[in-house]
Amino acid sequence: MTMTRFDDPAADRFRADVSAWVAEAIPAEWRDGRQALGPDDVQRIQRSWDEALFEGGFAGLSWPEEYGGRGFGPIEELIYYEESSKANAPDGFGRIGRVLAGPTIIAAGTEQQKKKYLPRILDASEIWCQGFSEPGAGSDLAAVTTRAVKVDGGYRITGQKIWTSFAQYSTRCLMLAKSSTELPRHHNLSFFLLDMEQDGIDVRPIRQINGEQEFNEVFFTDVFVPDEDLIGGEHEGWAVAMTVLSNERGTTEAATRLVEATTEIDLLSSCCSLDKPHDAVRLQDRKELLRWHILRATEEKAAGEDWFTAGSVLKVQWSELIQDATRLGIDTRCPIHRDYWRHSYLASKAMSIYSGTNEIQRNIITDRVLKVAR
Amino acid sequence: MELREIQEVARTAGRFAVSTPLVATLLAGRWFELDQDVLDRGAVPIVRRDDRLVAPYYADGVAIVDGAGAVVESSGVEAAVFADLVPLALVPGEHPALDGERLAEARAVFAAVAVGCADIVLTRSIAWAQTRQQFGQPIKGFQAVRHMLADAHIAREQAWTAAIAAGHEAFRADVWAAQAFTLARRSIEFGIQVHGGVGYTWEVGLQHHLDQVLELDSLFGGDR
Ligand SMILES: Cc1cc2nc3c(=O)[nH]c(=O)nc-3n(C[C@H](O)[C@H](O)[C@H](O)COP(=O)(O)OP(=O)(O)OC[C@H]3O[C@@H](n4cnc5c(N)ncnc54)[C@H](O)[C@@H]3O)c2cc1C
């Protein structure tokens, strides 16, 4: 049975279960000393968190049971994230699989694709990356030029992707490529579930402003994808990609960001060097507002409302909130947390860029939500 | 009536700048349903503020009685007397009955009115952006203008979330209402900017909606 409202009495029981489990499962080194951890430690903890989630039965809460999920709805999913935010839990490493690949396969995949890929996302035995952006196709995603040429039994992929997060750790890629040079824009792309463990793929990490190397350039030279790994129809990849992006901008992504916002703002509130505590209180209030906005959107989604109308508002809200929080972190000039704030301040700069820039979100709001013709 | 239903009505009332004590009346009706004993005989508490009597509604057959039950005013008397009445729910804190749970509900409902104020200004701003021509084209074609409309929408949606949250969390309804008023105000500010010089004129009247939000904020916005 799936809940459609937060005041469902079952929600309280579920919440109690989650919170008890999370409190128990969080690694002590994360709970007590997150600020001191380096990127390698963080990744190790995130990977072990993926395993813990799976073993604890909290992976794939809203995914169908026949593919290893729990068969609940978006409300249970959000309750999980709310409770993990209160407890300052880590995020898993397999987030692209859980937030993007999984929902896309559930929405558009064949039975065979669901059986093959979904369980491996849940137990984190496969790590996914998202091969959308290219040097010439960022905000204008439909302009991708990586080619998919039809051959016997599949396609051959050649081209360059960029900003591909976690590609160096990935076994699978959500690949958007141009399958027709004749058909019109938006009807000329195909979407593939591409195997990253084969020849012809060259992954080159790119150093980010925060010093980490999470994203990459990826060169594909004559790489094979079998027909059964085409998702959605041939040349219908744009429509599938839009599904991915509306998921990315969806409640799940926002809920994971709520977890991050909570961690930053809690640290800020307790920081010894905060000379204007009032500012931190305001951020706490805004974080609560974000939480309620997710609740509201999730309830509307469970009631069958179009999701995209809330998605862009949420994206702008979480990214600006976290950016404001880390900016204030820098402003505290705290001697103890200086390195931590410098790192998360820089990391937060990416938030108004990825998942569709905040300018693009504002375009979507005026074009599609307010429906003001250009 | 459910609080949420009253909030929907309140939002609509805000949209049309309904100046009668409709919203306060609905609230009073709700409290009466919930608490027949306290509000005996269909009476609701009123307050005397300065020299004015403050009642939630008036209509034929409504009487204002003092604590001992003696009739002070009734709607049988001159209409002029009632012209001075302002809604009960507009005076939080000054009336013993309007505190706790009820004050929280009043905050949630008047926060919804403020969202309606933001709604109407956004609707008018969109219409203006479609009509007003500069550089040989409607200003709706300029991305800077389009983004102001988007920002007005974002703030308005956040304000509505805050109003809904105020209705669920009585213990921090003051904070929620304050957020709703601030965000509704922010949304209206974008709307005024979209209007240009015309938006600054008394005649066009955007200030009425802004004033209403500021007034409600001063009454229900809490201490922050
Ligand atoms: C940390 C990080 C991780 C990422 N991970 C991935 C990933 O895993 N997979 C992947 O495919 N991509 C990823 N991206 C890429 C991301 O999706 C793109 O950077 C983003 O879509 C913007 O594209 P761009 O960088 O080409 O910028 P551009 O599109 O060139 O934009 C430059 C500026 O112009 C503005 N602009 C562009 N068009 C318009 C318009 N029509 N109206 C108004 N303003 C406009 C933008 O808002 C921006 O401010 C990642 C990016 C970052 C920063």
Judging contacts by C-beta atoms under 8 Å, the chain B residues touching residue A370 are 122, 126, 149-150, 153
A52: three-class secondary structure by DSSP = helix
The average pLDDT across A228-254 equals 86
pLDDT the model gives residue B25: 72
On whether the CB atoms of residues B14 and B120 are closer than 8 A, the answer is yes
Q: Is the pLDDT of residue B94 over 50?
A: no
Is the pLDDT reported for residue B221 higher than 70? yes
% chain A with pLDDT above 70: 95
User: In this predicted structure, what is the pLDDT of residue B60?
Assistant: 46
What confidence score (pLDDT) does residue A130 get? 96
Report which of B154, B121, B160 is spatially closest to residue B10, judged by C-alpha positions: B160
| Minimum mean pLDDT range among A186-195, A336-345, B42-51 | B42-51
Phi first, then psi, for residue A9 (nearest 5°) are: -60, -30
* B52-54 and A216-226 beta bridge pairing: unpaired
Both tokens assigned to B51? 């020299």
**A133: helix, coil or strand?**
coil
Query: Is residue A357 lining ligand 1, measured as CB closer than 6 Å?
Result: yes
Is A82 catalytic? The answer is: no
| Given A76, A134, A248, A260, the catalytic residue | A248
Q: Which two tokens stand for residue A151?
A: 């051959």
Read off the DSSP letter of residue A205: E
Ligand 1 nearest-atom number relative to CA A161: 11
Q: Does A142 touch chain B (CB under 8 A)?
A: no
Mean pLDDT throughout A212-236? 96
For chain B, say whether A251 makes contact (Cβ under 8 Å). no
* Cα–Cα distance measured from residue B2 to residue A299, given in angstroms and rounded to the nearest whole number: 18
pLDDT over threshold 70, residue A44: yes
CA distances from A119 to A8, A21, A177, A203, B116 (A): 29, 22, 26, 26, 47
Q: Which of A353, A364, A367, A368 to mutate to test the pocket of ligand 1 (most atoms within 8 A of CB)?
A: A353
In contact, B9 and B23? CB cutoff 8 Å: yes
Mean of the pLDDT values across residues A60-86? 89
Q: What's residue A279's pLDDT?
A: 85
Structure tokens at B71: 């009739």
Name the average pLDDT for chain A: 91
By percentage, how much of chain A surpasses pLDDT 90? 68
A162 vs B99 pLDDT, higher one: A162
The pick from A357, A358, A366 for probing ligand 1's pocket by mutation, whose C-beta has the most ligand atoms within 8 angstroms, reads: A357
- pLDDT score of A244 more than 50: yes
Residue of A nearest to B143 (CA): A363
Assembly ipTM: 0.86
Q: How confident is residue B72, by pLDDT bands cut at 50, 70 and 90?
A: low
pLDDT at B102: 82
Per-state percent for chain A, helix, strand, coil, to nearest 5: 55, 15, 30
* pLDDT at A91 (0 to 100): 87
CB-based contacts of B18, cutoff 8 Å, min separation 6: none
CB B217 within 8 A of CB B178: yes
The whole-number average pLDDT for the span B46-68 is 47
Better pLDDT: B64 or A53: A53
pLDDT tens digits for range A80-104: 988 988 888 898 899 899 989 999 9
Q: How far apart are CA A12 and CA A76, in angstroms?
A: 10
CB-CB contact of A191 with A234 (8 Å) = no
C-alpha to C-alpha distance for B8 and A331, rounded to whole angstroms: 41
CA distance linking residue A177 with residue A131, whole number of Å: 9
C-alpha torsion sign, points A75, A241, B150, A280: positive
Q: What is the pLDDT of residue B169?
A: 94
B111-122: string of b/e by CB count within 10 Å (b at 16+)?
Answer: bbbbbbbbbbbb
Q: Which of A341, A28, A104 is nearest to A210 (CA)?
A: A341
Confidence of residue B49 (pLDDT cuts 50, 70, 90): very low
* Span A350-363, average pLDDT: 95
- Reference B28, options B44, B49, B51, B5; nearest CA is B44
Residue A180 pLDDT more than 90? yes
Is residue B96 pLDDT above 70, yes or no?
Answer: no
Q: Is the pLDDT of residue B71 over 60?
A: no
What residue has token string 């250009």?
A374
What's the confidence (pLDDT) of residue B28? 72
Tell me: pLDDT of B39 over 60.
no
Average pLDDT, chain B: 78
Question: pLDDT of A7-43, one tens digit each?
Answer: 778 888 999 999 999 999 999 999 888 888 888 899 9
The pLDDT, as a whole number, for residue A274 is 67
B181 has pLDDT over 50: yes
Cβ atoms A264, A344 nearer than 8 A? yes
Alpha carbon distance B186, B152 (integer Å):
7
- Residue pair A96/A128 in contact by the 8 Å Cβ criterion: yes
Per-residue pLDDT for A362 more than 80?
yes
